[in-house]
Structure 1
Amino acid sequence: MNIDLSGLTALVTGSTTGIGRAIATGLARTGAEVVVTGRVQANVDKAMASISQAIPAARLRGIAADLSTADGCARLPAAIPDVDILVNNAGIFSLKDFFDTTDDDWEAFFAANLMSGVRLSRAYLKGMLQRNWGRIVFISSESALNIPPDMIHYGVTKTAQLGVSRGLAELTAGTGVTVNAVLPGPTLSEGAEEFVASIAKQTGQTAEQAAAAFVKENRPTSLLQRFATVDEVANMVVYVCSKQASATNGAALRVDGGVVRTIA
């Protein structure tokens, strides 16, 4: 399948590292102009340099903004009034006991994980509908379906993303615009690599052994039985953003390695 997004503009939030940067790289490879975002300009510049090294012909723009705030979200449409593809990837996570999770924690997670996507979708969806083509993708998580007891606040925000995604998809009926959610499972991003390395050091295992043991113990239903790579997740997202994915709308697409035990 040849995915060609030449002439289109794609905005990927939280794209300086991890899954976000892999998505930005994948979309750049299709010929799209990609807008890279992050909180710190130096990190945005570093990510763009990394993508340019992998894809010398990549067309990139970079904007630093704190998307957990309304003002930060407003910076993006002010700089780039229209985009054809919006990937709502920016977000935060942390392990925390439910009884220690404060109101401020809950509000911070909803602001970063949910409201950033709500605000940017509100800013860009109308233009997509007027042009009769566009793609919005929310990067949710298998934690939206399997709420983790050690980070209930995170899981609930990911479930909320599924509701917003499906609701926005209803607004696109009869158009060339689609809105979908992608649900990664355990993924070996930079943060996960550091976490696994610390486990390996503590247990005297190799990183590969520690990663396999972690998945076996903490995600025993995984059919993949390993962490996914960021590129494996990005491949699904790039497809959903493609013209070939025109019949996929309002869907929650799992790239979870089979962790969620369901036939739907």
Structure 2
Amino acid sequence: MKIDLSGKTALVTGSTEGIGFAIAKGLHEAGATVVVNGRTQIKVDAAVARLGGQARGQAIDLGNRNGAAALLAAEPAFDILVNNLGIFQPSDFFETNDDVWERHWQVNVMSGVRLARAYLPGMAAKGWGRVLFLGSESAYNIPVEMIHYGVSKTADVSLARGLAKRMAGTGVTVNSILPGPTLSEGVAEMLKDQVPQGKTLEQAGIDFVKALRPTSIIGRPATVEEVANMAVYIASPAASATTGAALRVDGGVIDFIV
């Protein structure tokens, strides 16, 4: 299958590295004009340089309403919106204060709410659009070590489902993607303490999956490219009959048959 996104513009939030950058790269290679987003100009510029072509960047913190307004002013319309921006922070429930909960809610949920509210009407007016939310297998398997994160990802999945219904009949699809453990820069940072113990990063990732996600069928973390492949397909015209779905790229971690 050849995916051609020529003539489409795409925003991928939180895309200077990790899954976000892999999605931006995949969309770019499929022909879309991609806007990279991150909080710092240096990282945004570096990511844009890596993509090349017609890619451009917006160094804006989308974890607050002012950031969303600034982005809308700079970029008034998109054909494809990938709400990838997200944070995670292992913390026991009884040690997780309101500030941590609020930060996860603003970054992981409200950033997508604000951008969907801003860009969906324009997509509907054109009769075509794609909106993706990066959820997580943690939306279903709430991790005991970061309940606050799991709750935010459950909200993302619910938001995508509700928006898909709201956009019925417009030519716009809205879906969520549920990665499992993925060997991104963020996960690598979390695992770094295990690497010096005579292990490679890949082996540390396998050990993490076996210990904390024992239902994984592939028995290893996914690569960022494996997650991006799903996102690029869902962003394409070929996925026109897929909407309101929570699409798993979790390596079989979620022990559920649908």
Aligned mates of 1:116, 1:207 — CA distance in 2:
31
Q: Among 103, 109, 128, which residue is 1:114 paired with?
A: 109
| Residue of structure 2 equivalent to 1:230 | 224
Aligned mates of 1:208, 1:130 — CA distance in 2:
46
Where in structure 2 are the equivalents of 1:113-152 lying within 5 Å? 113-152=108-147
Where in structure 2 are the equivalents of 1:69-80 lying within 5 Å? 69-80=64-75
Where in structure 2 are the equivalents of 1:81-230 lying within 5 Å? 81-201=76-196, 203-230=197-224
Cα RMSD for the two superposed structures: 1.0
What SS does the corresponding residue of 2:55 show, helix, strand or coil?
Answer: strand
Which stretch of the first structure deviates more once superposed, 171-180 or 190-199?
190-199
User: In the superposition, relative to structure 1, how do residues 195 and 105 fare at CA in structure 2: closer, same or farther (>3 Å)?
Assistant: closer
State the AA in 2 paired with 1:238.
V
What SS does the corresponding residue of 2:255 show, helix, strand or coil?
Answer: coil
TM (norm. structure 1) is 0.95
Q: Among 216, 241, 245, which residue is 2:239 paired with?
A: 245
Aligned mates of 2:183, 2:199 — CA distance in 1:
17
User: In the superposition, relative to structure 1, how do residues 109 and 128 fare at CA in structure 2: closer, same or farther (>3 Å)?
Assistant: same
Could you tell me which runs of 5 or more consecutive residues in structure 1 were left unpaired when the two chains were aligned. Answer: 53-57
What SS does the corresponding residue of 1:227 show, helix, strand or coil?
Answer: coil
Aligned mates of 2:199, 2:9 — CA distance in 1:
44
**Offset at residue 174 of structure 1 (A):** 1.7
What SS does the corresponding residue of 1:93 show, helix, strand or coil?
Answer: coil
What SS does the corresponding residue of 1:87 show, helix, strand or coil?
Answer: strand
Aligned mates of 2:55, 2:200 — CA distance in 1:
37
State the AA in 1 paired with 2:231.
V
State the AA in 2 paired with 1:156.
V
- Are 1:59 and 2:51 counterparts? no
What SS does the corresponding residue of 1:151 show, helix, strand or coil?
Answer: helix
Aligned mates of 2:200, 2:20 — CA distance in 1:
27
**Offset at residue 101 of structure 1 (A):** 1.0
**Offset at residue 191 of structure 1 (A):** 2.1
User: In the superposition, relative to structure 1, how do residues 46 and 5 fare at CA in structure 2: closer, same or farther (>3 Å)?
Assistant: same
- Are 1:14 and 2:14 counterparts? yes
State the AA in 1 paired with 2:154.
T
State the AA in 1 paired with 2:36.
V
| Residue of structure 2 equivalent to 1:255 | 249
What SS does the corresponding residue of 2:144 show, helix, strand or coil?
Answer: coil
**Offset at residue 132 of structure 1 (A):** 0.6
Number of residue pairs the alignment of both structures matches: 258
Which stretch of the first structure deviates more once superposed, 205-214 or 109-118?
205-214
**Offset at residue 193 of structure 1 (A):** 2.4
| Residue of structure 1 equivalent to 2:39 | 39
Could you tell me which runs of 5 or more consecutive residues in structure 2 were left unpaired when the two chains were aligned. Answer: none
State the AA in 2 paired with 1:69.
N
State the AA in 2 paired with 1:84.
D
TM (norm. structure 2) is 0.98
Aligned mates of 2:146, 2:201 — CA distance in 1:
24
| Residue of structure 2 equivalent to 1:55 | none
- Encode CA deviations 1:106-152: one digit per residue, 9 max, x unaligned: 11110000000000000000011111100000001000000001100
State the AA in 2 paired with 1:253.
L
**Offset at residue 197 of structure 1 (A):** 3.7
